Chains A and B, each alone.
Chain A
Amino acid sequence: MTAEFKRLGKRGSYRLGRLRTQGVRVAAAPEPFRPSFKRSYRRGPASAWVLAAIAAVALIGAGTVIGWWFLPFVAGLAAGLANRVAGWSTATALQAVAAMAVAGWGIPLWWHVLDGQAYGAAARHIAVTNGLPRSAAAGLMLTLVVAIVQAVVGYWLGRAVTPRPAEI
């Protein structure tokens, strides 16, 4: 009784705050319903698109073995064309495409490093050649940026040539 009396007038002593001090969990407020008149074009299970993205990563990675440096562009273009069916938002699709490109080139590079190849020296040289600080990380970042730029431009082209019905 005395303890309750001392709590009077203090923050968290009343209503829901009191429940919280007693260890009773309070349900979070429900997310407000936001009506939208935008038509949903999303089709196919997300798992299928994730599998397609993994396949694209494998293809980009395999391309590095034979020197096909343009495969991030091709993968981005394919993603842009496929998005006509998939219907992902631009922000989601761009993040996925960038992740595909980074993984597609990053994994083989990492593999080369683990294999004991002197990628660090090459990356440092590339960084210096392009006016960046002499560090392997800078060279690596530049390589991954090249992959991302290719993939994003490919995605842009794919989306531009296959507009959705609402965009026509």
Chain B
Amino acid sequence: MLEERERARRLRLYGNGVAALVAAILVLAALGVGLETHRPLGPGLVPGHGEWAAWVRR
């Protein structure tokens, strides 16, 4: 009984860790790829993005 509970707790911890890692990769990848492939997004969406100066000069 105790072992089962311990195993479930460890599984929950590892699951949480893996879910957090996947979420972090997804968010960073989506932002990174999105900013590179759709460069006009940069100026407004992310302050300090390389396109900012070009946008302001327009």
Complexed CA–CA distance, A121 and B57 (Å): 12
Complexed CA–CA distance, A63 and B49 (Å): 10
A-B contact count (CB 8 A): 91
A17 to chain B, nearest CB (A): 53
In the complex, A109 has a CB within 8 A of chain B: yes
Complexed CA–CA distance, A146 and B20 (Å): 17
Count of residues in B whose CB is under 8 Å from the partner chain:
28
Is B47 in contact with A160, judged by CB distance below 8 angstroms?
A: no
Is B20 in contact with A157, judged by CB distance below 8 angstroms?
A: yes
- The interface residues of chain B lying within 8 Å CB-to-CB of A168 are 9-10, 13
Is A64 in contact with B48, judged by CB distance below 8 angstroms?
A: yes
- The interface residues of chain B lying within 8 Å CB-to-CB of A77 are 24
In the complex, A14 has a CB within 8 A of chain B: no
In the complex, A87 has a CB within 8 A of chain B: no
A-side interface size class: 35 or more
A167 to chain B, nearest CB (A): 7
- The interface residues of chain A lying within 8 Å CB-to-CB of B10 are 168
* Chain A 61-91 per-residue mask, 1 if CB under 8 angstroms from chain B, else 0: 0011111111001000100000000000000
Kindly specify which of A2-10, A25-33, A35-43, A122-130 makes contact with the partner chain: A122-130
Complexed CA–CA distance, A133 and B52 (Å): 22
A125 to chain B, nearest CB (A): 6
